[in-house]
Structure 1
Amino acid sequence: MKKHISTVIMICCVVFSFVFGACSSDDNDSKDSTQLVLQASATKALVGETITFTVLADKLPIEGVTITEKTLGQIKDLTWTPTKSGTYQFTAKKEGYQDSKTLTIVVEEGIGKLNIETNRTFGKPNDVFEFKITSNGQPVQDVEIEVVGLERFTGNTWTAKEFGTFKFIAHKKGFASSDVLTIEIKNYSYFTYKDEIYLLDKSYFNFYRTVTEDFGIFDVWGLVMMSDDFENKIVFLAGFERKDPKELTFPEEGEVLFGGFAAAQFYANGMQLREISTLDSTMFITKVEPFKPLREDFYISDRVAINFDFVLENNTSIKGELDGPSELDFETVQTGTTSTNILSSLSDKEVLQLIKRKK
């Protein structure tokens, strides 16, 4: 009897295993036989019109699907904006499912291609950029601007919120999307002249001489604010009053009250600008990180920040800001020469006539 019962149990186990395996096999076969269905918001579109894809399995939306186009390759998201006319063929794929049937989308030319421009392609956080969108030379309104990988917005202004490189594309239904416009956000230094922007990178202080007068003792420094290629630069004399008659005064934070504004020299793209600034000009040294010795009589600072506004005799101005590394040179104390070549032949009296206290 026991032997009979054992035999029955064994047969049941075999049958159960067979049935379970068959069911499992049926499940796998069912999954393998499920074909993805690729759908699009439109199968006919104009250049610049955004198309949204949906993928179904057993009539239900499914995630984790890869959509590819025959010539374009993988589509990053479930949206696609054609930039050229033509016939495109899309397929959806996912492991464990049959590939979808090919979905064909026909794209026709729109009105024209968008062009995106801005007032400048660099800046700092909190700077506001204004965009101009045109097509065939004519303004285009109600355009959507894409910040690639981040957001889309309507309107013609954008405020930088952080450092980085940002890419912009203009879209509008019926138009071919614009080419990519790149804006770089970092600690830029520059000056403006006649609505043009000229970049600066660093500053250089060169000890010039000490001048003694009845109203004080002044240490005069040559200051050059310049680009790395020396094409853009502003050459200036700045006087700092000694607090202790026996101690040399270094460039320091605060407004430069004694400056050679009339003798300032300006260079843009390697050309000297024939401009003369007035005593209405201003200069503020807003930050001076400690200068550290690099070699004898030569020092470097990681950061010196300067804001300036040179008011010119023709009622225009050269203004801007510099925030970057700086060098400080004492070589002239020993050699009597100045690498800045500013007024090196003038007497103390002549220097004071140019370096005047601001009102």
Structure 2
Amino acid sequence: MDVFDRMQNGYLYRPEDPNLGISNTEQLKKQRLFNQTADHTILKRMFAAFGDGSQLRPPLFSVWGGQFVEVGRDVKIGPGLTLVDDAPIIIGDRVQIGASVTISVAGHPVDPTLRRRRLAFNLAVHLDDDCVIGDQVIILPGVTIGKGAIIEAGSIVTKDIPAHVVAAGNPCRVIQQVQVEKVEPKMAKSEFEKMRDGSLYLPEDPAILAEQQIHMKLQYQYNNLEPGDPKQAAMLKKMFADCGEECYIEPPLHANWGGFHTHLGDRVYANFNLTLVDDADIYIGDDTMIGPNVNISTAGHPIWPAYRLKKYQHNQQVHIGKNCWLGANVTVLPGVTIGDNTVVGAGSVVTKDLPANVVAVGNPCRVLREINDHDRQYYYKDRRVDLDE
């Protein structure tokens, strides 16, 4: 029996055998390319099987680049999957796997003499059809998870889990039965999805932090361009979710996601030190002007102290209409909508929605008055407009 057979079939073997190192080099190159491009055609070349309709969000971390892993049809896998796949991992149809899940086939003997000899063994893992695996679950060698089972987030699965149950904990135990008719594929939300849909989530999730760093690096490049550098416009279009024509943001820009979740209309202008806490979507309409030191935030934290101790956060979208003007040092809080043409006075803290066509000021910000014909005739105190309209 050669070293591959021993590795694949549960026998003791030496992972440092030189014949093994050569065998996964090309697979790891493919894995690196997938993590850079998110091209799912690469997965079909990497995995032993990768079924139609299945999706896997990078990054993927796999010891063998997935070559011993079989993925069924319509499987949904969140970012940050770690596969210690020295032996087969079989994932059935319609399985849903959350973010930062680890599935490991590898173990080491308890006996210290055997461990000193650098021996290991591998036991295959099976996830049956329609399983739901929550975020940050760890599945250990030799485990089988039955059809339709739900494993709650953070669980460590050390033994087989039967079909049609909910299981949780460390070690993972069955906590309730599930009626078969209720076991429908229902995606265990990843931390990414919770970040975007207003749910409580953990912003320090490793997969979130890894992706966030990519966008922060683009922001760093933008902030370090020379004034007037022609690359600025192209950089904004690369950084932002949407960036219309003739937009400009005075550096430095400070954005949690480098603008990746922010949507700019045409001709948006922002002065120095714009801060975007853009963990959820921010929409800014055409021709809106933003003064210096403005803070637009989608992020909030629970009032209940125990939830804050666990670092939970939630995010609510912000919508700013067309042709608005936000004065210096304005703060716009999560969930706010500001109507078209509205002016928000300097230093205001906008905690609630503002209608269109008003002037609003204060902390908390309140409507002072409607924009009226006097504003058409006078642009500042008693200074009359002398322009041809």
Please identify which structure carries the higher strand content: 1
Higher-Rg structure is: 1
TM range (shorter): under 0.3
Question: Taking structure 2 as the reference length, what is the TM-score of the superposition?
Answer: 0.24
**So what's the TM-score if we normalise by structure 1?**
0.25
Larger helix share, 1 or 2: 2
